Amino acid sequence: MTFGIIGSGSWGTALAKILNDNGEHIHWWNRSESAIEAFKSRSHNPQYLASAKFDTSKLILSSKVKEVITAADIILIAVPSAYIAEVLFTLPKDIFRGKKILSAIKGILPNENVLLNSFLQQHFGVTIENYFAVLGPCHAEEVATEKLSYLTFAGSDEETAKKISEYFKTSYIKTVVNKDIIGVQYAAVLKNIYALGAGIAHGLEYGDNFLSVLIANSADEMAGFLRKAGIMNAEVGYIEHKNKQAMHNIHNNYAASVYLGDLLVTCYSLFSRNRTFGTMIGKGYSVKAAQLEMSMVAEGYNASKCMYVINEKLNADMPIAENIYKILWENLSAKEGFKNIELGLI
């Protein structure tokens, strides 16, 4: 299998490093020709994760996205969700025929308010059987320094998900397979929203005691949304191993790394761009000022609006996510929003 990577930000670079460490040849898209030339001469991405060194003899770098997709069997998409339509819309409608898609995004496509699989199905005819997702908990910065991390590969076709995951196994990366392709994506979107909330709370100078209660209630709120969305495995504290020797054969479980674990690390870690963005909001920055201050996209910002719209139909009980949305999009003050949140915490 040959990989093509669309996106050269920190997460795309981290995943490329894993494949490169395993000796895989990669076709990799970067919109900037100057960045490509700098990468070739320095053997690292000049814009993100500069400490991650690459064997450039195994990289085919290109500024033409069509070339990258045409040359690869598995297309790893790591573009921020807000820019996916812009990157892909000019491509032929049959460009993904015969390809496997591996999503590395953790957001909802704004305007359409859909997960990436729905967008690709509608505009390019990609079936859910050919669509997979790679998720955390896993910060790009820790991958770059080879800290032990776990990656979950989700897909309705578990056997193919397992085969794809094998390409990412290293001494510092363990892999898990999960067939809950819709639930894991929603969980990844929601944890970014709750991490924004954790950051806002930090900026407002709430302490660790409050933060722990906020995150615990966020986890419960997330599980409630997943059940409303038809995800039936959102149970805490129940894990059944089909084969105790194989991490690949664990039943989907809400307390596992891809759901609760990813929520925890995104809310607590100083690497979390969503927590950082939220902290600025809590300290009094406007949304525009916070966006200008950060060099990376905080997916939770657009996601908060998208999930608010989606939940208008599902009607899950989501006071935390709703107040975060109102703080970011409806000019509700952070202090007032968190006073509202306080009233519902248990």
CA-CA-CA-CA torsion sign (70, 8, 279, 332): negative
pLDDT-based confidence at residue 291 (cuts at 50, 70, 90): confident
My answer on whether 239 and 336 are in the same domain is: yes
Residue 253 has pLDDT above 70, yes or no: no
Which domain CATH number covers 93? Answer: 3.40.50.720
My answer on whether 174 and 190 are in the same domain is: no
Residue 251 has pLDDT above 60, yes or no: no
User: Which of the listed residues 146, 179, 212 is the one where a domain comes to its end?
Assistant: 179
My answer on whether 165 and 196 are in the same domain is: no
User: Which of the listed residues 144, 160, 179 is the one where a domain comes to its end?
Assistant: 179
Cβ proximity of 15 and 4 under 8 Å:
no
The three-class DSSP label of residue 326 is helix
Alpha-carbon span 277 to 296, nearest angstrom: 10
- Rounded to an integer, the average pLDDT of 50-72 is 95
My answer on whether 92 and 187 are in the same domain is: no
My answer on whether 192 and 115 are in the same domain is: no
Residue 275 has pLDDT above 60, yes or no: yes
Domain of 82 in residue numbering reads as 3-179
**From residue 100, how far is each of 108, 130, 143, 145, 340 by CA, in Å?**
20, 5, 24, 29, 44
My answer on whether 175 and 188 are in the same domain is: no
Residue 312 has pLDDT above 60, yes or no: yes
> What's the whole-number average pLDDT of the chain?
90
Torsion angle, alpha carbons of 16, 294, 113, 233, to 10: 60
Number of domains in the chain: 2
My answer on whether 134 and 233 are in the same domain is: no
Pairing of strands 100-103, 59-62: unpaired
**pLDDT at residue 254, as a whole number:** 63
Residue 246 has pLDDT above 70, yes or no: no
CA-CA-CA-CA torsion sign (311, 313, 314, 318): positive
My answer on whether 171 and 189 are in the same domain is: no
Alpha-carbon span 137 to 159, nearest angstrom: 22
My answer on whether 56 and 113 are in the same domain is: yes
- The 10s digit of each residue's pLDDT in 214-229 is 999 999 999 999 989 8
**Residues contacting residue 37 through CB under 8 Å, at least 6 positions apart:** none
Share of the chain above pLDDT 70, in %: 92
Which domain CATH number covers 258? Answer: 1.10.1040.10
pTM reported for the whole predicted model: 0.90
User: Which of the listed residues 129, 161, 179 is the one where a domain comes to its end?
Assistant: 179
- The 10s digit of each residue's pLDDT in 167-192 is 999 999 999 998 999 999 999 999 99
Q: Judge residue 241's burial from the number of C-beta atoms within 10 Å of its C-beta, 0-12 exposed, 13-18 middle, 19 or more buried.
A: exposed
- Rounded to an integer, the average pLDDT of 245-263 is 63
Q: Of 18-22, 31-35, 163-167, where does mean pLDDT reach its minimum?
A: 31-35
Residue 285 has pLDDT above 90, yes or no: yes
Query: And the tokens for 63?
Result: 């500024």
My answer on whether 118 and 187 are in the same domain is: no
My answer on whether 200 and 170 are in the same domain is: no
Residue 255 has pLDDT above 70, yes or no: no
Instruction: Report the candidate in 15, 105, 27, 110 with the shortest Cα–Cα distance to residue 65.
Output: 27
My answer on whether 300 and 152 are in the same domain is: no
